[in-house]
Amino acid sequence: MTKILIVAEHLNGQLNVSTARCVTCAREIKPDAIDVLVLADTPDAVAAQAAKLDGVSKVLTVVRAENAHTLAAMLAPQIAAAAKKGYSHLLFPSTTFGKDVAPRVAALLGVGQVSDIMSVTGAHTFTRPIYAGNAIVTVEALSESIVVGTVRTASWPAVGEAANTAPVEMLPVEATVLAHTRFVELKQASSERPDLQSASKVVSGGRGLGSKENFDVIYKLADKLHAAAGASRAAVDAGYCPNDMQVGQTGKIIAPELYMAIGISGAIQHLTGIKDAGIIVAINKDADAPIFEVADIGLVGDLFKIVPELEAAV
């Protein structure tokens, strides 16, 4: 019997869209059941949102005071205990959250992890990118043990709402959490712009902006388009913007409907993060920049002239 357990990602009572993308992946495995696990101190709001996802059989909640904050050391023992209750697959989103927690759970379960699942070819056979996305490899997990995998969310659309809400049940788990790890504080950049990983439109800037002050050009256009703001690693390393804006192999992997790369040359590490984008627009003064090889629309010219004109037109 194939039963899949998806670990929900959430923050401040809101379910992250990455969970809905994991459900899409899970449905491709054609399981007998897809359950969603919500770990929190007060999980009711998140569980109610998860119960509406199309394809979800049941939502399980684990309520503990230690789950008020998403600390991998705290969550991993509980997730491992829950996974042992008859599940054949355990899935996480391949986000910062999933990449933090999944390896710990896989180690506790004594299995290898399948990372960045792009497609499903069988119950235990998947494809994933390697070499910064330059090649796609087919991997096969052992059928006699539980499959622990992270889902490349940029490769999967989110499921919609179901006609009927799935039942929500409290799941008792016996797990000892580690005492040497504790939550101190969370420092998080606040912004009224859409979340970078789930936004349908993203405007990104690169080294071509030249300075932190010049990056306002990116912010102004993003606000006009109601888009998220992103950046290349070069821009982040130069101190033009915070690292939570970084897009690419070592940053965020995204798949917006529209991606605008402004002053970004298009190194392979950056292109890995946007390969699933719908339409890519590139603006760069270098006509030979690699970004133009993948762009659907390319403008060669001075970004400091072109971008204000675009903003005015919008």
Model confidence pLDDT, tens digit, residues 250-272:
899 999 999 999 999 999 999 99
Beta-ladder partners of 283:
262, 299
C-alpha dist (Å) from residue 135 to 98, 128, 129, 272: 23, 9, 6, 11
pLDDT 10s digits, 108-145: 999 999 999 999 999 999 999 988 778 899 999 999 99
**Do residues 220 and 311 make contact, with C-beta atoms less than 8 angstroms apart?**
yes
Average pLDDT score over the chain: 94
pLDDT of residue 106: 98
| % pLDDT > 70, the chain | 99
pLDDT of residue 8: 98
**Do residues 88 and 3 make contact, with C-beta atoms less than 8 angstroms apart?**
yes
C-alpha dist (Å) from residue 311 to 44, 188, 215, 216, 225: 42, 28, 14, 12, 8
Q: What residues does each domain of the chain span?
A: 3-170, 201-313
Domain 3-170 architecture: 3-Layer(aba) Sandwich (3.40)
**Do residues 7 and 100 make contact, with C-beta atoms less than 8 angstroms apart?**
no
* Number of Cβ atoms within 10 Å of the Cβ of 185: 6
pLDDT 10s digits, 183-236: 888 876 666 788 898 899 999 999 999 999 999 999 999 999 999 999 999 999
3-170 and 201-313: same fold?
yes
Domain 201-313 architecture: 3-Layer(aba) Sandwich (3.40)
* Number of Cβ atoms within 10 Å of the Cβ of 176: 8
